Structures are given as C-alpha cells and as structure tokens.
C-alpha cells in the first residue's frame, strides 16, 4: 500500500506549496527499517541515502534513520556526506562512490569514511592523513564481478598488504557489491560471495582481526541470508519497493512515497482536435480533458505520454498527448472533475493505487529511476511523524 489519501487542498496549503508535491510517510520508512533489522539479526544496518534518499529527501530521511539508531549511513558522493555533516549528523557515513585525490582532505576534516578502491588511492589517503596529523577511516572495495569500482578479487591481496603499511589509515571495513542478487538465478551472486570470502581468508592466514564485512544490498538482504555478514546496505527496499519482480519477498515492506498534484484546468475537447505537442492524440468524440501542473521538468518522464494513467476521484484516467515540461493532460471522458481536485501520479486514492513499478513499466525503465528522477523543485511533504 502507498500513502492512502491525498492531502486536501486548502488556502494555507496553496500558500506554501506547488500543487505538485511528494508526500513521504516517515512512519512507513521507520517500519521498513525495523523489518530489515529484524530480518538480518545481529548484522549492522547501513541505510543507503544516495540520490536524495532515492527521491525521499536526504536530510529528513537521514535524521529519521539516526533517530531510529542506524549504525551507519551510506552516501554516493562527498557532497552528500558534507550536506549531512552540515546538518549536525554525527553518525558514521561511508561514501560508496569514487573520489578524486584533491577531495581527500575534505573527507578527513569532516570525519567521512572513504572507500579505498585501489592501492594508489589508499596511498593518497594515507599521505593526506599524515599531512593533517589524523587517522583516516577507510573501507576497502573488492570487485567480485560487478566490474565497476574496486580492485579485482584475484588482485586483492596487493591492496590488503598495502593497507597494513599505511599507518595513518584505519581499515574499518571491507566490502563488495552484487551485480545480480535480484535475479531468480542466484548462481552469479553466490559466485561473487564465494570470491569475497576467498579474499577475506587473507586475514585468517595472518591471524589478523577481520574488518567489518559487508556485501548485501537490498536483493542480498532478501534472497541471500548467507551474505548478511557483519553489515547490510538496504537501498530501494528501505523505501518500500522490491528490487525486481523476480526477487523473493522475504521481508514485508511498504512504499513510503506518494506523488500528488491537482487539476489546474478543465475543458471540453471536440472530436478530431489533437492534444499537446506533436498532435499525437485525439478522440473521435467530444471528451473532457483536465490539465495537471506536472511534467518532465518535475521528473515525470516524457516517455509516459499516451501510456501512463493518473488517479482523480479514485478513478484511473489516461494521460492524453505528450507530457510537457511543466504540464500534462488527462482524458476523463465525460466524468466530472474540478479545478483543485487532487490528482495522484504515484500512490493511492480510494480503492485504486498506482505504484512506482507500474510507472516504470509504462516508461520502460525501473522504479529506482522513477523515484530518483523526481526533481528537487517538487516540494517534499513529510507525514507520519512520531
């Protein structure tokens, strides 16, 4: 279920927000985190907050996760970590993406944990920490089959050996990332996990304590309990969406985001009169058409033109014509709708629900992109505060 009832239009509401807005239910996010924690037992949990917390709002979601006792926070880039630190968040933050050498002092001055993905980057981190007279906290990144970032598993020993010589570096963790843990066939995911375990034998052979081990993304959490190790990294499932249709639903989660707008204009369009740019849609009979002040400039894909549906007064209506930058139209046939009526792009109205998965299918993409594509010019409204 998605947030069930659109906010009612009011004078006060209209004064402060665009009609097009996102509602985020914090109680549902909290419930999802609790469900994940219960499922993974003693493993630590690192909520992943990259890309504006998957469109839900970086700062507000981070503050909720901290309030709920998250062990760690995950972000993609230095800028995201800096934003969190500027808000006074002191919880450990691991930056999962790559880094440029000149950025390293900013990581260290703001107590951000770095990903060391090569011997060269590890040495740069060590040199910067020495120059600042501090200790850098790093997690080593091992590529077990993603071919994106990290030292190859078959070359990893060089990185681990180098880490023992970097005396201004604390290797707090070591991790890898699944490429196919959301598939029905988990053979490649299991091969990746096996490769990661082989790399970890380096510490056993030298009688060294193991760093914090983590590999499980949302799909790993759901489908590969043996991958939970010391910490897990929930991303999309934290926000109430399963990683893929094939992925097992071993944890009950609830979508936390709804995308709303309002009817801004109503007209009767005569038979044969085309609608919107390119004149790609027309009816063979008179229809009532409403305009909605949301478009691809807000992140509602142009690819949804003539394919998507919206909810008005608890009923589904098709998007008619091409989605514009700031507006789109819907055909309500001969039903009634009035200016100011709530419109649901993602979410529930009455007995009908449009999910992010459904929007993704219409657009030929995945729900990750649907959520993270919602532009920051769309206001976020937070409900369900405890």
Which is it for strands 93-95 and 73-75: parallel, antiparallel or unpaired? Answer: parallel
Phi, psi for residue 60 in degrees, rounded to 5: -65, -40
Looking from the CA of 124 toward its CB, the CA atoms found within 13 Å total: 16
Kindly compute the dihedral angle of the four CA atoms of residues 97, 103, 104, 109, in this order, to the nearest 10 degrees: -110
Which of 306, 298, 324, 318 lies closest to 363 in space, CA to CA? 306
Residue with tokens 């510490």: 203
Which is it for strands 136-143 and 151-152: parallel, antiparallel or unpaired? Answer: parallel
Residue with tokens 């951000």: 112
Which of 171, 186, 254 lies closest to 226 in space, CA to CA? 186
Active-site residue flag, 8? no
Residue with tokens 């590999």: 215
Active-site residue flag, 50? yes
Specify the long-range contacts of residues 353-362, CB closer than 8 Å, at least 24 apart: 353/1, 353/2, 354/309, 354/310, 354/311, 354/316, 355/2, 355/255, 356/241, 356/255, 356/257, 357/241, 357/245, 359/304, 359/308, 362/303, 362/304, 362/307, 362/308, 362/309
Which of 118, 110, 68, 116 lies closest to 92 in space, CA to CA? 110
What residues are paired with 140 via a beta bridge? Answer: 116, 174
Alpha carbon of residue 215 to chain centroid? 17
Query: C-alpha angle 109/115/118, rounded to 5°?
Result: 120
Catalytic residue among 50, 203, 307, 382: 50
Catalytic residue among 67, 86, 267, 277: 277
DSSP 158: H
Residues designated catalytic:
50, 277
């Amino acid at each position: 279920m998605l947030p069930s009832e659109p906010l009612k239009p009011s004078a006060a509401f209209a004064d402060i927000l665009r009609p097009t807005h996102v509602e985020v239910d914090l109680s549902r996010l909290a419930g999802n985190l609790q469900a994940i924690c219960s499922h993974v037992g003693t493993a630590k949990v690192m909520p992943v907050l990259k890309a504006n917390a998957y469109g839900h709002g970086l700062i507000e979601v981070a503050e909720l996760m901290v309030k709920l006792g998250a062990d760690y926070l995950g972000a993609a880039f230095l800028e995201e970590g800096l934003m969190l630190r500027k808000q006074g968040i002191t919880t450990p933050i691991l930056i999962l993406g790559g880094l440029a050498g000149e950025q390293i002092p900013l990581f260290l001055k703001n107590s951000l944990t770095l990903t060391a993905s090569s011997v060269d980057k590890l040495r740069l981190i060590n040199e910067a920490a020495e120059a600042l007279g501090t200790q850098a906290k790093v997690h080593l990144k091992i590529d077990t089959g993603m071919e994106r970032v990290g030292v190859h598993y078959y070359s990893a020993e060089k990185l681990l050996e180098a880490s023992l010589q970097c005396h201004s570096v604390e290797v707090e963790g070591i991790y890898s990332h699944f490429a196919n843990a959301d598939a029905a066939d988990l053979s490649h995911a299991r091969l990746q996990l096996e490769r990661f375990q082989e790399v970890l034998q380096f510490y056993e052979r030298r009688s060294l304590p193991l760093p914090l081990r983590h590999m499980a993304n949302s799909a790993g959490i759901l489908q590969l309990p043996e991958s939970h190790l010391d910490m897990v990294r929930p991303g999309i499932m934290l926000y109430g969406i399963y990683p893929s249709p094939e992925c097992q639903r071993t944890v009950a989660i609830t979508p936390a985001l709804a995308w709303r707008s309002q009817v801004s204009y109503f007209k009767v369009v005569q038979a044969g009169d085309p609608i919107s740019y390119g004149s790609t849609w027309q009816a063979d009979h008179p229809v009532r058409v409403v305009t909605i002040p949301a478009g691809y400039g807000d992140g509602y894909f142009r690819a949804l033109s003539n394919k998507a549906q919206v909810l008005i007064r608890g009923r589904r209506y098709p998007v008619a014509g091409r989605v514009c930058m700031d507006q789109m139209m819907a055909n309500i046939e001969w039903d009634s709708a009035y200016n100011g009526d709530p419109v649901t792009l993602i979410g529930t109205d009455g007995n009908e629900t449009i999910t992010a998965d459904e929007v993704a299918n219409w657009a030929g993409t995945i729900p990750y992109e649907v959520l993270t594509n919602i532009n920051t010019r769309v206001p976020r409204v937070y409900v369900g505060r405890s």
